[in-house]
């Protein structure tokens, strides 16, 4: 008789960071991502990994952006024990890079990526290359901004994709050199 193995898929919900104000209050972009992550958690409880450290373009306070999103998610009702350590990233590529060891430490093999609808394609591109063995699900948060602001954000995404492609190519080349 053949032995049956039951492989357990461990999942995390990764909440991509967004801007906060100088007092630590979350922007509409960050709040919409958190609210979508909360809804996702209610449907499928999992470990939560918040991203975001410090940077002139999104957080100039003394506390990591991911700590603000974690606090907001706890206020929404996610228990504190559900959280993994915050990935102290500054941009999307670092989100993928710095979440990798945190997920590996918990033997997590699948992740639901939560970001804004204008950002999710870039998130998917970067994560799928930096963590190719991670089973990915994408969840887009609707951003409550005007059409003009959303158009500006979509234009920004198109403008930064060449940089992400270059980052990914350099990462893959470096990984290839390390494996020799």
Q: What is the pLDDT at residue 151?
A: 97
Specify the fold of 11-178.
Rossmann fold (3.40.50)
Per-residue model confidence as pLDDT tens digits over 20-68? 999 999 999 999 999 999 999 999 999 999 999 999 989 999 999 999 9
Percent over 70 (pLDDT), the chain: 95
Check residue 68 and give its pLDDT: 97
pLDDT(8) > 60: no
Which tens digits make up the pLDDT trace of 149-163?
999 999 999 999 999
Query: Residue 2 pLDDT > 80, yes or no?
Result: no
pLDDT in tens, 93-139: 999 999 999 999 999 999 999 999 999 999 999 999 999 999 999 99
| Full DSSP string of the chain | -PPP--PPPPEEEEE----B-TTSPBPHHHHHHHHHHHHHHHHS--EEEEB---BTTTB-SSS-HHHHHHHHHHHHT--GGGBPPPB--SSHHHHHHHHHHHHHHTT--EEEEEEETTTHHHHHHHHHHHSTTSEEEEEEEPP-S-HHHHHHHHHHHHHHHHHHHHHHHHHHHHHHHHT-
pLDDT at position 166 over 80: yes
Whether 6 has a pLDDT exceeding 50, the answer reads no
């Amino acid at each position: 008789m053949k032995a049956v193995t039951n492989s357990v898929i461990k999942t995390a919900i990764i909440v991509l960071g967004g801007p906060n104000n100088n007092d630590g209050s979350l922007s509409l972009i960050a709040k919409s991502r958190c609210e979508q992550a909360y809804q996702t958690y209610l449907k499928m409880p999992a470990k939560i990994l918040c991203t975001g450290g410090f940077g002139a373009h999104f957080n100039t306070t003394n506390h990591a952006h991911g700590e603000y999103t974690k606090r907001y998610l706890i206020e929404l009702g996610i228990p504190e024990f559900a959280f993994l350590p915050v990935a102290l990233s500054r941009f999307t590529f670092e989100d993928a890079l710095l979440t990798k060891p945190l997920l590996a430490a918990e033997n997590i093999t699948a992740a639901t990526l939560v970001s804004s609808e204008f950002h999710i394609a870039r998130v998917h591109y970067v994560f799928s290359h930096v963590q190719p063995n991670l089973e990915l699900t994408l969840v887009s948060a609707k951003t409550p901004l005007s059409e003009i602001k959303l158009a500006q954000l979509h234009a920004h995404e198109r403008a930064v994709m060449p940089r992400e492609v270059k980052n990914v190519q350099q990462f893959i080349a470096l990984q290839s050199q390390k494996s020799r």
